[in-house]
Structure 1
């Protein structure tokens, strides 16, 4: 089971924090969260992965889809606080070069 905590910072940045496993079951929920923020006009997003203990290819696909949607809307999507497992997956797939993970939400933008 996964929970998504969504917050908006005072500088207009939206933060999505998936808590649990980001996999084929929960990836559509991430897509919906990203789309919801974009529909509200928030196009600069950070996905805070500090509470995400696992990611699979569907989770990676949802992150790439979110990146594409935000960029098409004139914004960007960045990652913050990836766990060791997620960092390893990002490095193995070279997505760390595209998604630009930062050590914290504050450092992501």
Structure 2
């Protein structure tokens, strides 16, 4: 059995950073959405998803990202997404780049939270 998505979590003062690698697809999406959603519920409510090591994202993964953005916003936080070219291209195909708050780096995402 292979694990298609791996990651780490780091909590800082008013935000948390998730660094993910692998595939964000229909197989990994239910666990991804549940785990990240639970951490957003626990707080801090601002979250940064670092997807620069994601090899593939499909419509299930995009749907989970949309749900997680809404969850963070409902809690009074935000979800910033640091991407790579492949993820950015997929997101732009469905015109979600503004809604998903794509960022070029973790530093840019942190700046966006601290505005």
Match of 1:86 in 2: 87
Pick from 16, 32, 53: which aligns with 2:18?
A: 16
Query: How large is the RMSD of aligned CA atoms in angstroms?
Result: 1.2
How far apart, in 2, do the equivalents of 1:102 and 1:37 lie? 21
Asked if the contact 2:23/2:57 (under 8 Å) is kept, the reply is yes
Shift of 1:74: 0.8
SS in 2 for 1:16: strand
**Considering only CA atoms, is the larger Rg found in Structure 1 or Structure 2?**
2
Asked if the contact 1:48/1:105 (under 8 Å) is kept, the reply is yes
Match of 2:42 in 1: 40
Asked if the contact 2:33/2:64 (under 8 Å) is kept, the reply is yes
Structure 1 residue 5 and structure 2 residue 8: aligned? yes
TM-score of the aligned structures, taking structure 1 as reference length = 0.90
Unaligned runs of 5+ in 1: none
Shift of 1:38: 2.2
Unaligned runs of 5+ in 2: none
Match of 1:56 in 2: 58
Pick from 76, 79, 94: which aligns with 1:77?
A: 79
Per-residue Cα deviation, 1:53-83 (whole angstroms, up to 9, x for no partner): 1100000011001001111111111101x12
How far apart, in 2, do the equivalents of 1:66 and 1:23 lie? 15
How far apart, in 2, do the equivalents of 1:46 and 1:106 lie? 10
